[in-house]
Amino acid sequence: MIKILTVIGARPQIIKAAALSRCIKESYSSEIKELIVHTGQHYDQNMSQIFFDELGIPKPNMNLSVGSGNHGVQTAKMIEGLEEILIAEQPDAIVVYGDTNSTLAAGVAASKLHVPIVHIEAGLRSYNKKMPEEVNRIMCDHASTLLFSPTKAGIENLIKEGFKTTNLQPYTMNNPGIFHCGDIMYDNSLHFSKLSDQQSTVLDDNDIEKDKFVLSTIHRNDNTDIPERLSGIFEAILEIIENHNISFVLPLHPRTNKLLKQNTSAELYLNIKSEKRLKIIPPVSFLDMIALEKNAKIIVTDSGGVQKEAFFFKKPCVILRPETEWVELVSCGAAKIVGWHKDKIISAFNDYYTTTNVSFPPLFGDGKAASFMCAKMIETFE
The catalytic residue positions are 219
Binding segment for ligand UDP (CB under 6 A), chosen from 56-64, 116-124, 301-309, 354-362, is: 301-309
Interface pattern 12-41 for ligand UDP (x via CB under 6 A): x--x--------------------------
Report in angstroms how near the CB of residue 139 gets to ligand UD1 at its nearest.
12
- Are the C-beta atoms of residues 85 and 61 closer than 8 Å to each other? no
Interface pattern 208-247 for ligand UDP (x via CB under 6 A): ---------x-x----------------------------
The reply on whether position 284 binds ligand UDP by CB under 6 A is: yes
Report in angstroms how near the CB of residue 47 gets to ligand UD1 at its nearest.
4
Q: Is 130 exposed, middle or buried (0-12, 13-18, 19+ CB in 10 A)?
A: exposed
Cβ-based neighbours of 207, under 8 Å, separated by 6 or more:
none
Nearer to ligand UDP, 149 or 303 (CB): 303
Nearer to ligand UDP, 312 or 381 (CB): 312
The reply on whether position 289 binds ligand UDP by CB under 6 A is: yes
Q: How many residues bind ligand UDP (CB under 6 A)?
A: 15
- Are the C-beta atoms of residues 66 and 79 closer than 8 Å to each other? no
**Count of CB atoms situated within 10 Å of the CB of 39:** 31
Q: Out of 116, 232, 283, 316, which residue is the one contacting ligand UDP (CB under 6 A)? A: 283
Residues binding ligand UDP (CB under 6 A): 11-12, 15, 217, 219, 251, 283-284, 286, 289, 303-306, 309
Residues binding ligand UD1 (CB under 6 A): 10-12, 41-44, 47, 68, 99-101, 132-133, 219, 221, 253-255, 258
